[in-house]
Amino acid sequence: MGGITYKRGREPHGKEHRVIFRNIDREGWDPGIETYLKDGGYDQLKKALGMERAAITEEVKKSGLRGRGGAGFPCGVKWTFIPPNNTKPVYLICNADESEPGTFKDRYILHQDPHQLIEGMTIACFAVGAKLAYIYIREEFPEAAKIVEKAIAEAHAKGFLGKNIQGSGFDLEIYVHRGAGAYICGEETGLIESLEGKRPYPRIKPPYFPAAMGLYLCPTIVNNVETLCHVKHIIGMGGEEYAKTGTKNNTGTRILCVSGDVQKPGYFEVEVGKVTMGEVINDLCGGLKPGRELKAVIPGGSSAKVLRADEIYTVGRGDDARKLTIWDIPMDFDTMAACGSMAGSGGVIVMDDSRSMSWVLNNLNNFYAHESCGQCTPCREGSLWMKKITDRVVAGKASPSDIDTLYGVAKNIDGRTICAFGEACSWPTESFVEKFRDELIGDTKPELEGAIVNAETLTAAASL
């Protein structure tokens, strides 16, 4: 990072590897196109426009880039799902509905480096043959929408968008679409419905796989903001070179958003798998708060299963099997999955021993009960039910068997819903009960077993 200086107090940590966040908090940087161009902006687009379309996808495949939105699906593979005999228009949508609690990376790209996104997106659109693309920005980012719209206008004026981009014959228009404040709009088919002007009810898959039947039932690629930014750098470095960063099958860099009980919460771009949880907490974040001990970590956004601090995790199989403490877990997709959670959106939520797990779970359940779209039965009814049970646990009005019910409700949601929200809302409950069962039960009262717990039922019982 030669020659780049950062604002005081915002300097990257030595263990960071800034690619996407290279210009975030950079001294003398602004989101305008002149600044971007002076820094070599849109060079990769010019390079890409001179390549074969299939070759771009090939580079992205070689790079091993996995989606940074949460699911970690290989980006290049996703692009190839567009039916080869397709005759309909192809759309590309940038998912800037960053709503996963604990995640705050895309907003910095939108606010401070919008042209990086536009450049990555334009390359991606050229690769998949999209002439119309949308950036779906969540309602809660009003400034971001203004900044990105301005950036689009600037790119237009400079011939990086619009008709015949840089004389290549490629046309592209990008539009900003603003959400209306619903978590479910981050689910790609929910987002597509919303973009079509409907309630964001996720679609069933099959048949509505976006790459074949997406926006207006045309092939549609939905990629996260960070993912699309990576595309620019993959073209810059070449896929193989890119794949040398990070670790095998977990290539590149990714931005970790650390929140919770650490000294210096914030965002940190690291090579995937090259730093451990311990390094994240102790080095990047300056350690836990004084006198506190680590209790648990949610490693990939609020939907990820919680990891308990004192647990030993076994990863790998057979001869490769090794035992890890929570401190040793490398921050990558595969290890995190092997530990029973997920790297998800990169939102790392750290909890120390001052935290009541009942309260934490109730907080999460409140969020999911509020955000369930209500389309399909298990999630609609289950998310509120789980919230109501943990409301009682926190209020000291629950009995030990309520914890079993809570777990049973989560299990009845998991794997039975239209979209991944079912897992998103049930995994926290499942993992908290599995890992902190004793603590949750400790917050319940055995004497309330079988007791009537709400006024409504009391009234009904009294009139019997």
Partner 1 sequence: MSEVKPDLVDVQIDGVWHQFPKGTRLIEACRQVGAEVPHYCYHPKLTSPGNCRMCLVETGMPPRPMPGAEPPQPDESGHLPISWIPRPVIACANTVAPNMGVRTTGPITEECRKGVMEFLLANHPLDCPICDQAGECTLQEYSVEHGKGESRFREKKVKKPKNVDVGPRVRLDDERCVMCSRCIRFTDEIADDPVLGFTDRGSHTVLTVYPGRELANNYSLNTVDICPVGALTSNDFRFQMRVWFMRETNTIDVNCATGCNVTVYSRQNKIYRVVPRQNNDVNSDWMPDSHRLNFHWIDSDARLTDPMVKENGKHRVATWSEALAKTAEKLAPLSGSEIAVIASARMTNEELFLVNRLVKQIGAGHVEIVPRMGEADGYLISADRNPNTNGVKLVLGLANPGSGLDRVKSGIEEGRIKAVLCLQENLVEDGGFSPELLGKLDFLLATYPLANPTTGLADVVLPGACWAEKSGTMINVTGRLQRLNKAVDGPGQTLEPWEIVRDLIQALGGGNGIYSVTEIFKQLAAEVAAFKGLSWGQIGDLGLPLIETGETIPALEREKQRKAAGLIVG
**Shortest distance, CB of residue 349 to partner 1, whole angstroms?**
23
Burial annotation 283-313 (CB, 10 A radius, 16+ → b, else e): bbbeebeeeeebbbbbbbbbbbbbbbbeeeb
Strands, DSSP E only, in 316-426? Answer: 322-324, 347-352
Run of H or E including 371? helix 357-371
Looking at the Cβ atoms of 204 and 312, the one nearer to partner 1 is 204
Looking at residues 418 to 437 of the shown chain, list those that interact with partner 1 (rule: CB under 8 A): 418
Looking at the Cβ atoms of 55 and 452, the one nearer to partner 1 is 452
Residue 186 contacts residue 179 (beta carbons within 8 Å): no
**Shortest distance, CB of residue 462 to partner 1, whole angstroms?**
16
**Shortest distance, CB of residue 382 to partner 1, whole angstroms?**
6
Burial annotation 72-92 (CB, 10 A radius, 16+ → b, else e): bebbbebbeebeeeeeeebbb
Looking at the Cβ atoms of 274 and 380, the one nearer to partner 1 is 380
Give the span between the Cα atoms of 36 and 101, in whole angstroms. 30
| Candidates 56-64, 201-209, 336-344, 435-443; binding stretch for partner 1 (CB under 8 A) | 201-209
Structure tokens at 221: 């690629």
**Shortest distance, CB of residue 383 to partner 1, whole angstroms?**
6
Looking at the Cβ atoms of 255 and 376, the one nearer to partner 1 is 376
CA angle 211, 212, 215 (to 5 degrees): 75
Looking at the Cβ atoms of 205 and 289, the one nearer to partner 1 is 205
Looking at the Cβ atoms of 238 and 396, the one nearer to partner 1 is 396
Say how many residues make up the chain. 464
CA nearest 65: which of 270, 277, 272, 268?
A: 272
Give the span between the Cα atoms of 60 and 240, in whole angstroms. 9
Looking at residues 236 to 295 of the shown chain, list those that interact with partner 1 (rule: CB under 8 A): none
Looking at residues 361 to 420 of the shown chain, list those that interact with partner 1 (rule: CB under 8 A): 369-378, 380-385, 388-389, 392, 402, 405, 408-409, 412, 415-418
**Shortest distance, CB of residue 182 to partner 1, whole angstroms?**
7
**Shortest distance, CB of residue 381 to partner 1, whole angstroms?**
4
**Shortest distance, CB of residue 141 to partner 1, whole angstroms?**
20
Residue 102 contacts residue 140 (beta carbons within 8 Å): no
Looking at the Cβ atoms of 35 and 405, the one nearer to partner 1 is 405
Please list the residues that pair with 92 across neighbouring strands: 133, 221
In the list 127, 182, 221, 275, the residue contacting partner 1 (rule: CB under 8 A) is 182
Looking at the Cβ atoms of 139 and 241, the one nearer to partner 1 is 139
Binding site for partner 1 (CB under 8 A): 182, 184, 199, 201, 204, 206-207, 369-378, 380-385, 388-389, 392, 402, 405, 408-409, 412, 415-418, 452-457
